[in-house]
Structure 1
């Protein structure tokens, strides 16, 4: 009853009145609207399939750089918008791939270092971490994940090892976000030790970059738009050489955070894949990610 009362209250107070809600439009009406705003559509059937696949609202978001006051710039076609959509999808796949490599590397560093210093079960002791409450939250999430897991190595320890999980087993069940928080909650000396694996990055950079890499991976996994994204949170703690050329809340900054955390063998391949995406979709411009024109050589120079 209480939930129903809450729903009714929401409907009475917050539900928009019909005159404030845009009316439903069929695909043909959406096509007519886009044409009336100057978008070139030469094949209505093709445009209809695009709208079915993309959703008008999503399509509209990718056209923001191609119009002003709802009027498209001369020569812009629906295929141009689709090219931006496809570029963004490719960029998300690159971010997902390389942020996953960052996650795997950090997981390996933490598991090895922590087991070596505190033993296989030292991660259970809150005295080995900076904040007891954050440690408790981490363990709660971790063991919920372990309880739900059907991974072979978890089942083996559940059935044959009295459900005792060494850190190198347990840590495989952490999300990237939880792993980032675990690192941030380790004792300062331990964070410093692991940061040294990143050749020149301080623990403050590693903390910030891993959090940002986790956010970027989540955005990519859920298919959210990165192209022309106005602002991202948290801000990236960029090195001095980048602060004057890249805004710390743009996708470009997040690309750098991932790049900086990668093993050296993965850095150039990541840059190459991004450059290849720009070549394949030349209608996409680096500036709408917050990247300067010389982004490739700039990133390379800060390795």
Structure 2
């Protein structure tokens, strides 16, 4: 186990690795309020020196001129990115929950229809997934039935819980599985709504497919978890990115840019948000990037955008 170090010892350690500390008092305040591990270990990599073979120097050393302020700026930029992205992921989450609950309930009107195997896909490969989904839905009802909640109210007064009430207690991960387990007919109804909105906003002749929505849901769930748990976002990348062939055609963005990066997630949101919301998202990101563009000297802001997966002409690709 590494030995405990006071804030001043942590600063001394950073100085010994050639990191410039312009203001000792400010450095203390940063470490006191944000934690050495979160700031330094989380965001130092772009500022570390490399040898002739482009490997990180051992022992660790910072690039000439690198400052603690720069590392902290990257830390605060990432925090603002999380807050922005989470806002629009939640808008999508509300949208997909509303569409799934509406079309499923309209098709299957019996009480607790979502707990019945017969109301889901007949694809044998999805059977285990469907059974797991039904179990989780039942667990949510059971768990919240013990609390003073709308679920308890509906059970006490109506003997059943409508899906449009239950979805408010389900994670985006569960909703992602719910969508995959739906029959193709219901998936198509949901896609038709997104297609209609996308055509209205952008005049596209391409239809939104069920695979595309499944991919957006998978990405949104993973990125939402990063935001909600305050993990590092700017260089987060999905290990197994959803297939993006159709999304590439729909968005007019080369497929290699839809590779599981932050840019991919932002681009995917264009498919499922209204034009007004997506335009606000892009404008907010543009303003944020402008604010931070001049705060780095050891590295360029373009390097940070590259880590995010944003191409140089990212505004052109997201054209709104």
**Could you tell me whether the CA contact under 8 Å between 2:115 and 2:138 is conserved in 1?**
no
TM-superposed deviation, 1:152:
4.3
1:28 match = 8
TM-superposed deviation, 1:172:
2.2
1:154 match = 151
TM-superposed deviation, 1:52:
2.3
Deviation digits for residues 179-222 of structure 1 (CA, Å, limit 9, x no counterpart): 11100111122212211211132110100111110110111000
Of 122, 138, 141, 1:143 maps to: 138
Of 113, 117, 123, 1:126 maps to: 117
Query: CA distance change for structure 1 residues 117 and 170 in 2, over 3 Å: closer, same or farther?
Result: same
TM-superposed deviation, 1:244:
5.0
- In the alignment, the residues of structure 2 paired with residue 120 and residue 293 of structure 1 have an alpha-carbon distance, to the nearest angstrom, of 53
Give the length in aligned residue pairs: 279
TM-score by length of 1: 0.84
Computed over aligned residues only, the root mean square deviation of the Cα atoms, in angstroms, reads: 2.0
Of 47, 54, 67, 2:48 maps to: 67
TM-score by length of 2: 0.80
TM-superposed deviation, 1:120:
5.0
Of 69, 79, 92, 1:89 maps to: 79
**239-248 or 39-48: bigger deviation:** 239-248
Query: CA distance change for structure 1 residues 51 and 120 in 2, over 3 Å: closer, same or farther?
Result: farther
| Structure 1 segment 155-174 matched on structure 2, within 5 A | 155-162=152-159, 164-174=160-170
Of 185, 208, 219, 2:226 maps to: 219
Q: Which runs of 4+ in 1 moved over 6 A?
A: none
| Structure 1 segment 238-249 matched on structure 2, within 5 A | 238=244, 239=248, 241-243=252-254, 245-246=256-257, 248-249=259-260
Of 177, 192, 196, 1:196 maps to: 192
**Could you tell me whether the CA contact under 8 Å between 1:62 and 1:227 is conserved in 2?**
no
**Could you tell me whether the CA contact under 8 Å between 2:262 and 2:308 is conserved in 1?**
yes
